[in-house]
Structure 1
Amino acid sequence: MSLVLQDRTVVVTGGFGVLGRALGASLMARGAQVALLDRAEVPPSLESAERLLAIGGVDLASGEAAATALERIVGQFGKLDSLVNVAGGFAWETVEGGHLATWDRLYEMNVRTAVAASQAALPHLLASGAGRIVNIGAIGALKAAVGMGAYAASKASVARLTEALAEELKDRGVTVNAVLPSIIDTPTNRADMPDADPSRWVAPEALAAVIAFLLSDDAASITGACLPVGGRV
């Protein structure tokens, strides 16, 4: 595998989940130093190593907590080049029978965490000279289905955040893009949809490869893009 991210330092929020772990492994295989951040505690199976730092117990909805975690990462690796905002959540709920608290919760998980992490990362990304932010949106935000109102609205906000921040930074050496997956092949999704064909979904490793491209020098001319990664859904 080509070391297109050699000596880059990348932070992945929501790093202990299925996509976060797959992305961390993919980025390290491409030469990057990787820091995985998560609200959960560090699982025993995920130990920090020479080019991997795992930090748990981080409330990424808090600007102060995000800034403290990123300062720790820069202290260990000496710099920060890229941020991937994976942290988020999902809930299926109709508008008629749903709760306002669900809308608030999904906004906090999917949007506020991305804003807080981006704000904390920006001073370091600007200093990098080739900073990158990639947000995880959702293809479902382009056309919401039944029960997807709160989730799709929060992910649509991620897309608008991506576009607005890209405009802010387009002349300052930092690109901002989003990937919009359909259904990611995870154990949870397989359990929730036992009659579906997961071979049509997006494998975490495949999505990780797209993200790695957006973090690379080859994608330096791409900013403000919301890229659908739909598999065969």
Structure 2
Amino acid sequence: MSQSLQGKRIVVTGGFGVLGSTLGKYLLARGARVALLDRSEAPAALLDTPDLLCLEGVDLSSTASADNAFARVAAQWDGIDGLVNVAGGFAWETVEQGHLETWDRLYQMNLRTAVVSAQSALTHLVASAAGRIVNIGALASLKAAAGMGAYAASKAGVARFTEALAEELKDRGVTVNAVLPSIIDTPANRADMPDADSSRWVTPQALAAVVAFLLSDDAQAVTGALLPVSGRV
């Protein structure tokens, strides 16, 4: 079923990557106004799109940078209704052969950016008639495979953060949920796993559809959920 997001003002972090840009286009097609935030330079293909605001050079590990970005979005659209925390990263590294710096880096990329973004957006979301936060977690946070320790631990942090913030906000009109994808079908993952059956993976479009539901008014009774989106993996 197509979820209407007509008039919703949604911020997507990590917005210039494969999932972030796909999600942005998906939300626009359902009537939302979308702001894409990223550290990178905005792709030319995304510029001059109606109802799409691209903010580049945003450091979401910095409270000052994030506060400035969210204030710009709220001023442009007179508020913010939803936040999707896509920004993050991945590294495969065993504990035995790995480095503590990898654990710190993935914490910064996957958990700190989500916490900083939520804190920067919160005043605006509470003022909305139906505030929404959706975090991109990972199925690996439930059961880590070899080489996935640092990544899974950072995403487990996203899960606990989601649950804690949902409890804090459940009487203030803001829902907080997370989706837990398995392997997302991206060019990078296909290159890294050329012999895998990518037809079993989750497409960015399929994941975007689940996120769109959680942002919609139909999901008002759902908060604190960690929703597996595993395709056929």
TM-score (norm 1): 0.98
1:102, CA displacement in angstroms? 0.2
Which position in structure 1 is the counterpart of 2:137?
Answer: 137
Q: Secondary structure at the match of 1:178?
A: strand
Alignment-mate amino acid for residue 97 of structure 1: Q
CA distance in 1, matches of 2:182, 2:141: 10
Which position in structure 1 is the counterpart of 2:161?
Answer: 161
Q: Secondary structure at the match of 2:44?
A: coil
Which position in structure 1 is the counterpart of 2:18?
Answer: 18
Which position in structure 1 is the counterpart of 2:200?
Answer: 200
Which position in structure 2 is the counterpart of 1:6?
Answer: 6
Which position in structure 1 is the counterpart of 2:230?
Answer: 230
Deviations 1:12-31 (A, max 9, x none): 00000000011001101110
1:2, CA displacement in angstroms? 4.5
Q: Is the 8 A contact 1:3 1:29 kept in 2?
A: no
CA distance in 1, matches of 2:172, 2:40: 34
Give matches, 1:113-152, under 5 Å. Answer: 113-152=113-152
Give matches, 1:80-119, under 5 Å. Answer: 80-119=80-119
CA distance in 1, matches of 2:60, 2:98: 25
Number of aligned residues = 233
1:201, CA displacement in angstroms? 0.1
Alignment-mate amino acid for residue 105 of structure 2: R
Q: Secondary structure at the match of 1:45?
A: helix
CA distance in 1, matches of 2:27, 2:18: 14
Moved more, 102-111 or 44-53: 44-53
Structure 2 residue runs of 5 or longer lacking an equivalent are none
Give matches, 1:25-64, under 5 Å. Answer: 25-64=25-64
CA distance in 1, matches of 2:208, 2:158: 18
Q: Percent same amino acid among aligned pairs? A: 71
Q: CA RMSD in A?
A: 0.9
Deviations 1:189-231 (A, max 9, x none): 0000000111100000000000000000110000000000000
1:178–1:3: structure 2 CA closer, same or farther, 3 Å change rule? closer
TM-score (norm 2): 0.98
- Could you list the structure 1 runs, at least 4 aligned residues long, displaced by more than 2 angstroms after superposition: none
Q: Is the 8 A contact 1:9 1:77 kept in 2?
A: yes
1:50, CA displacement in angstroms? 2.7
